[in-house]
Amino acid sequence: MLKGIPPILSPELLKVLCEMGHSDRIVISDGNFPAQSMGKDSIVIRLDGHGVPEILDAILTVFPLDTYVEKPVTLMEIVKGDTAKTPIWDTYKTIVEKHDTRGSDVIGQMERFAFYDSARTAYAIVATGEKALYANIMLQKGVI
């Protein structure tokens, strides 16, 4: 155990977060995201018993967001014509505001297939058991 480190951050995940360099990206995916196929060239870490918000909050405790890009946090856009609701995005905004002085202005959106393309080149993907729809989120690492 370590002091000051959220216990949800496993040794494997901490190692990956530490290995990541400036502008590397990590995806925290919902339970429907094809993490294994998207992550063929990435590190896939499974945290199936957890939801995205608790993992996002823990990661942002130790992970600096990129200050050299306008939107270092990216959500997957709702597909045109889909009537899904995304209340989890409000939770994400609250979490990001807690950890970054720029607030929710750092959050952008990306079309579904563009998000997949970007996820394929992410350094790592954290696969969760999150049941909310459109709950995938990508973070771009900054510097300290």
Residue 1 lies in a domain: no
Residue 1 has pLDDT above 90, yes or no: no
Asked if the structure places residue 3 within a domain, the reply is no
Furthest C-alpha separation in the chain: 47
In a domain, residue 68? The reply is: yes
What CATH number is associated with residue 70? 3.40.1650.10
Rounded percentage of the chain residues whose pLDDT exceeds 70: 100
Asked if residue 99 belongs to a domain, the reply is: yes
What tokens does 19 get?
């290995």
Contact criterion met (CB below 8 Å) for 115 and 74: yes
Which residues share a beta bridge with 107? Answer: 73
pLDDT above 90 as % of the chain: 99
| pLDDT attached to residue 2 | 84
66-114 pLDDT, tens digit per residue, is 999 999 999 999 999 999 999 999 999 999 999 999 999 999 999 999 9
pLDDT of residue 135: 98
Residue 16 domain-assigned (yes or no): no
Domain presence at residue 10: no
Domain that holds residue 40: 22-140
Residue 43 forms part of a structural domain: yes
Catalytic residue numbers, as ranges: 22, 66, 116
- pLDDT 10s digits, 114-136: 999 999 999 999 999 999 999 99
Confidence of residue 24 (pLDDT cuts 50, 70, 90): very high
Structural domains counted in the chain = 1
Residue 54: its pLDDT value, please?
98
Cβ neighbours around 94 below 10 Å, total: 13
* CA nearest neighbour of 138 among 40, 129, 112: 112
Q: What are the residues facing 44 on neighbouring strands?
A: 125
Q: Over the chain, what is the mean pLDDT?
A: 97
Q: Which residues of 40-77 are buried (b: 16+ CB within 10 A; e: fewer)?
A: eebbbbebeebbbbebbbbbbebbbbbeeeebbbbbbb
Count of CB atoms situated within 10 Å of the CB of 133: 16
